[in-house]
Structure formats: structure tokens, C-alpha cells
Amino acid sequence: MHNTDIMSLNKAELISFFERTGEKPFRAKQVFSWLHKKQALSFDQMSDLPLKLREKLSADFKINSLKTVKKLCSKKDGTTKYLFETYDGSLIESVLMKYRYANAVCISSQAGCRMGCKFCASTLGGLERNLTAGEMLSQIYEIQKDSLLRAGSVVIMGSGEPLDNYDNLIKFLSIINSPDALELGHRHITVSTCGLVDKIYELAEKKLQITLAVSLHAPNDDIRKTIMPIAFKYCIDDLIKAAKFYAEKTKRRVSYEYALIKGTNDSDECAKELALRLKGSLSHVNLIPVNDVKERCFVKSDESRIKKFYEILSSMGIETTIRRKLGSDINAACGQLRRGVKEQTAFEKPKLR
Ligand code: SAH
């Protein structure tokens, strides 16, 4: 039992552990609040618990914290990118974005990724492992502590495919909105997926109020297959059907991510085909000029092409935005920082702060 990661237990699980071992349930609530509200990193800090209980907890559980390996702050817009190391040496990235109305934290759901999207740096080394619910939460806690800011929203758009780590994602979602934790409403959380159709249905049935972002990046299967291997498993019709089902069940607008890649998916025809596919659904398209990744040869579309693409979608009644680029001077695109350090650490381990 000594190795059980206590940060990943939701309140019901913690209460059940306490009951099984003859402790009062209110103690579980206290511990939960120490971990997730006050964000204690050791049982010694839990000063209102009897010493005996603290000793028992130390024997049964561990609190896994994240070490900050690197931190980069954009001079342009204050976006801060963090590279964290897990207890077992995996590297993960998270980003703090400062908007006028709130601060958003972007977190990773896996170390690495096995989805293989051709334009994405996170997937270059494959999947290392799933992150626990505690490790997803710790990214937010560490960033809040470091920046002295509160996360007004959380997007799960860092490295990894959250729906490929479904059970831990659900646990994370159940902890984060608890009144004894961050109390962050699900409406302020976005889960981004490359399109695991079965899991989208499963999530929809839970009727949570989280926003679903679907990384579409193409208007048809032929183009999608050239950039996203997941398109061989699930066709675009089924993916959009699942996303529409999600919108119907939750009454939440689905957001479609579309990275514009020069000469691949950015023609007028692509825009028209995309608009026809999405017409009439509760949706929103987010156009993102693709970020150049050193190991990949994709280039972002020209400004004028992006504008034209936007205009076609808008004129055909599709709600569209062009994503404002934050942190462009600090490699803020998915997986880029981790990748950079991995290359460097093949020879030399970076100094921990
Ligand atoms: N696996 C999930 C979430 C992580 S990726 C997903 O696919 O949605 C988060 C978003 O960043 C996705 O929309 C992904 O397609 C996009 N992305 C990855 N690499 C990118 C790049 N080089 N330029 C622009 N967007 C990128």
C-alpha cells in the first residue's frame, strides 16, 4: 500500500479508505482539503491531524510532487511554459496563459503520446506513460504556487491524448470541481481530443459540462489520413456524429480545432467542404496557424490564406475564430519544450531548480 498515490484518490475513495481502517470520515475530508485546497506536499504539514494518523498516512501513501526543470516566460505576452519532471523521471509540459478576463492553464494528460499526428512534437518519441489524476492536478497547483495566480480555466491540450487516459481523466474531473479542492466548475474546463469516437460517446453519457474540443484539421478522410493516423480507425462522418451527440447530450458547443498547413488543408475547397459538414450543428471552429516543428516539414499557411479560409467559413454561417498566438517566442506549441530538453538530455541532464 505504501506506494499508493494519495493525490489521485477522489473524496469517496479517500473516505472509503478511512472507514475501512477505522478512521472517522471527517478526517478524510480534512486530508482531501489539505491535499487539494491547501496543496500540502507532506503529511507533516497537516497540522490539525493527530500525529498517529499522520504517521499512518505516511506509511500507507505517498504524495507525488512535480519538480520544475525549466520555466520559460514570453516577453511578448507573459505566457509561461513549465517543464516538469515526475517522480519517476518523465518530462511533461504545461503552460500558463494570461488573458484579460482570466488565466488559463494548459496541462498534459500523458508523458508523450501514441496518436502519431504528423505535425505534433508530443508524439515524436511515442507514449511513455499515462499521467495519474494527481499528476494532472499537480501541474495546476505548481503553476498557481509559482505564479501566485489562480487558474480561471483549464484546457487539457498539452502532451497526450486525454481520452486515451480516460479513467484518470474522469477522476481528475471529479476532484477538480470539489468544494474542498480548486472548486473549478466543469464549464471552465476543455478536453481536447484527436477523435476517439467510442470515448466521446462515453463522455457524453456522463453529461458533464466540460467543453469538448475536437482536433479535426481536415474536411475529409483523404486529407485527414495524411496527417492523423487516428483517421484510419474512425472516419470523419462518425467523428462528427459523435461530436454532435456530445453537443446534444450536454447542450455544450463543440469546438473544432483546425491547424492550417500550407498546401495541405487550407484551400477554398477545404473551407467549403468543412462548412458543409458542420452546418447546423452547435459548434465553433478555431483556426490555428500550424506551429513549425523542427522535425516536421509542415509550414503554416500565409496570413492572406488564413483570412480567406476564415471568411469562407464565416460567410457560410460557421462561427469561426483565428486563435491568437501566445508564447510564440518560447516554443509554446504542443510538445516542443519537452522535445528540446530530451534532445539536450541525451547527453547531459538539465539542472533542476
Ligand atoms: N491529443 C489531444 C490534445 C493534445 S494536442 C488532441 O489531439 O486534441 C492539443 C492541440 O494542439 C490539438 O488540436 C493538436 O492537434 C494541436 N497541435 C499539435 N501540434 C501542433 C502544431 N505543431 N501546430 C498547431 N497545433 C498543433
Residue whose CA lies nearest to ligand 1 atom number 15: 215
Which pLDDT does position 256 carry in this prediction? 98
Which pLDDT does position 139 carry in this prediction? 98
Which three-class secondary structure state does DSSP give residue 160? Answer: coil
| 95 touches 80 (CB < 8 A) | yes
Residue whose CA lies nearest to ligand 1 atom number 13: 215
For the packed helices 133-147 and 166-176, what is the interaxial angle rounded to 10 degrees? 50
Q: How far is the CA of 14 from the centre of ligand 1 (A)?
A: 34
| 287 touches 245 (CB < 8 A) | no
Q: How far is the CA of 50 from the centre of ligand 1 (A)?
A: 47
Which pLDDT does position 338 carry in this prediction? 63
Q: Output the DSSP codes for 276-323.
A: HHHTTSSEEEEEEEPPP-TTS---BPPHHHHHHHHHHHHHTT--EEEP
pLDDT digit string (tens) for the chain, length 353 residues: 457 899 999 999 999 999 998 999 999 999 999 999 999 999 999 999 999 999 999 999 999 999 999 999 998 888 999 999 999 999 999 999 998 888 999 999 999 999 999 999 999 999 999 999 999 999 999 999 999 999 999 999 999 999 999 999 999 999 999 999 999 999 999 999 999 999 999 999 999 999 999 999 999 999 999 999 999 999 999 999 999 999 999 999 999 999 999 999 999 999 999 999 999 988 999 999 998 877 778 999 999 999 999 999 999 999 999 987 777 677 655 555 565 555 443 333 333 32
Pocket test for ligand 1, best of 157, 210, 211, 227 (most atoms within 8 A of CB): 157
Q: Which residues pair with 70 in a beta bridge?
A: 83
Element spanning 269, H or E: helix 268-278
Counted residue by residue, the chain has a size of: 353
Q: Grid coordinates standing for 41? A: 506536499
Which three-class secondary structure state does DSSP give residue 141? Answer: helix
Q: How do the residues of the chain divide into helix, strand and coil, expressed in percent and rounded to 5?
A: 40, 20, 40
Closest by CA position to 97, among listed 320, 328, 353: 328
Which pLDDT does position 2 carry in this prediction? 56
Quick check: CB of 137 below 6 Å from ligand 1? no
Q: For the chain, report the end-to-end CA distance as a whole number of angstroms.
A: 31
User: In the block, which residue shows the cell 465553433?
Assistant: 284
Which pLDDT does position 78 carry in this prediction? 86
Residue whose CA lies nearest to ligand 1 atom number 5: 157
Return all residues near 270 (Cβ < 8 A) that are at least 6 apart: 218, 219, 223, 309
Which pLDDT does position 335 carry in this prediction? 58
For the packed helices 197-206 and 236-250, what is the interaxial angle rounded to 10 degrees? 10
CA separation for the pair 314, 322 (Å, rounded): 11
Which three-class secondary structure state does DSSP give residue 340? Answer: helix
